[in-house]
Amino acid sequence: MKASWTKRTLNLKQPAGTSRGVIKSRDVWYITLCENGITGIGECAPLRGLSLDNFDQIESKLEEVCANPKLFINDLSSLKDFPSIRFGLEMACFDLKNGGGQNYYGSFDSIEINGLIWMGNPDFMMGQVEQKLDEGWTCIKLKIGALDFDSELDILRSIRSRFSRDELELRVDINGAFTENDVREKLNRLAEFDLHSIEQPIQPGQWDLLAELCESSPIPIALDEELIPLINDAERIEMLENVNPQYLVLKPSLLGGFSETKKWIRMAKERNIGWWITSALESNIGLNAIAQWTAKMKPDGFQGLGTGQLFTNNIPSPLTVKSGKISTDQSKIWNDVNQFISEWYSTNIEMDLKTSGSTGKPKSISVKKDWMQNSAELTRKTFGLKKGDSALLCMPMK
C-alpha cells in the first residue's frame, strides 16, 4: 500500500462571519491510499480554534502516517490527538475498500438540510434570509451572538412575522458567545420566536451552568463545541449524564470520523437525546463522504450539510443542493470523474488515460500530471478562457 497527502486552500465566495471571527479561506489536506490499482481518497479538514489538531504538526503527522499507513489503519485510536487526520484516513480506507471513486457508503436520493445564515450587518443577514426563503427552504439556521443583539432579534422578528413555526423551522447557533451574566435573559428574549433549538449558548466546559440551562431554558439546547475535546467514552458519558442536553450537533471531521460519531449517536439514543449531522466547511470530497454516511444513518429532521456551495474553487462533485435538500447525481460518469480526482491527488506522478477514440479504438496512454496541468494552464492563457468555458485539450505525452 502506498500513501500520500497534498494540501489545498479553499477560498470562500464571501467572508463567513461567526462569533469566533471571520473566515475568508481554509486549508484542507487530502490523503490517498493506493493498492492493487485502486485509489481511495480522504479529507482532513481541521478548523482553527475548534479542532483538537495541532496545526503546526499536521503535515509532519501526515508524513508519519503516509510512511506506514497500515500501522495507523490498524489502530486509528493512535490518532486521537489528530481527529481530522483520523477521519481522513478512515475515509480513504472506506473508499479503497469499496473500489475507489469516492463510493464511501453508496449513492442516496436526498437528505433534508437547513439553510445557513452567516453573521454580518443586518442588511447582509436579511439578504441571505430572503434568498433562502425565495429558494424554498423550510429550515434556516442563523449564526448570531457577536453583533448588536437587538438587531439580531429584529431579524428573527421579521422572519417570524411572515412564517409560523409550522411553515419555517428556525435554529440559532451562538458559538458560545453568551456569558453566565446574560445567557438567561437572552434565552428568554429569544423564546418569543418559537425556535427549534439554540446551539452552544455558552463556552464549553461549564457543565454545572449548562445543566441548569438545559433544565430551565425555554428553548431546547444543542451542544456542539462541547463535544470536541471529549475523546474517551467515560468523559462523554459523564458530560451527557451531568448536562442532559436536548440535542447533539455531530461533526465527523471534528470528532474523529464516522466510528467515533457513531459512538455519540449510540450514547444519545440510550439517553433519549436528539442529534443531527453537520459538515464543517469541508470540500466536496469530505462533504460527499459525510452525506453518504448520513443517509445510511437515517436521521430524523434537518441535517447541516449545505456548506459545499461556499467556495470558489471547490472540487467537482455529484452533490447538488436545491430547495432545502442535498442530493447526488447517480450518473455513471461521476464514478469516472471521482476516480480521476482520486488518482490526481495520489502519489503517482503519471496517470494512465485513454485517447478519445475519434480516429479508431481508444488507446491507453501515460501522461505526467505536471505536463497536463501546464498544458491546460497554457491553453487557458492563450485563448483567454474563463470559468464556464469549454475546451478539448490535446495533452502532451511523455
Fold matches, 2-97 and 110-331 = no
pLDDT at residue 332 greater than cutoff 70: yes
CA-atom Rg of the chain in angstroms: 23
Give CA–CA dist 292/289, Å, rounded: 5
pLDDT of residue 19: 57
From 61, 132, 141, 143, the catalytic residue: 143
Q: How far lies 70's CA from each of 39, 91, 348, in Å?
A: 15, 14, 19
Per DSSP, 170 falls in state E
Active site residue 251: yes
Categorize the per-residue pLDDT at 7 as very low, low, confident or very high, splitting at 50, 70 and 90. Answer: very high
pLDDT of residue 397: 54
Categorize the per-residue pLDDT at 47 as very low, low, confident or very high, splitting at 50, 70 and 90. Answer: very high
Give CA–CA dist 257/51, Å, rounded: 13
**What's the pTM?**
0.90
Categorize the per-residue pLDDT at 102 as very low, low, confident or very high, splitting at 50, 70 and 90. Answer: very high
pLDDT at residue 276 greater than cutoff 90: yes
pLDDT at residue 326 greater than cutoff 90: yes
Q: 339-387: per-residue pLDDT in tens?
A: 888 888 887 788 777 777 777 788 888 888 888 888 888 888 888 888 7
| Residues 6+ away with beta carbon under 8 Å from 365 | 352, 353, 354, 355, 397
Q: Are 243 and 216 in contact (CB under 8 A)?
A: no
- What is the CATH T-level fold of the domain 2-97, as seen in this structure? Enolase-like; domain 1 (3.30.390)
Q: Are 175 and 20 in contact (CB under 8 A)?
A: yes
From 132, 141, 251, 325, the catalytic residue: 251
Q: 199-230: per-residue pLDDT in tens?
A: 999 999 999 999 999 999 999 999 999 999 99
pLDDT of residue 234: 97
- What is the CATH T-level fold of the domain 110-331, as seen in this structure? TIM Barrel (3.20.20)
| Residues 6+ away with beta carbon under 8 Å from 249 | 199, 200, 222, 223, 224, 227, 275, 276, 278, 304
pLDDT of residue 110: 94
Active site residue 381: no
Structural domain boundaries in the chain: 2-97, 110-331, 352-398
Give CA–CA dist 54/308, Å, rounded: 25
**Lowest-pLDDT range of 58-67, 318-327, 347-356:** 347-356
DSSP sequence for 314-330: PPP-SEEEETTEEEE--
* Mean pLDDT, the chain, integer: 91
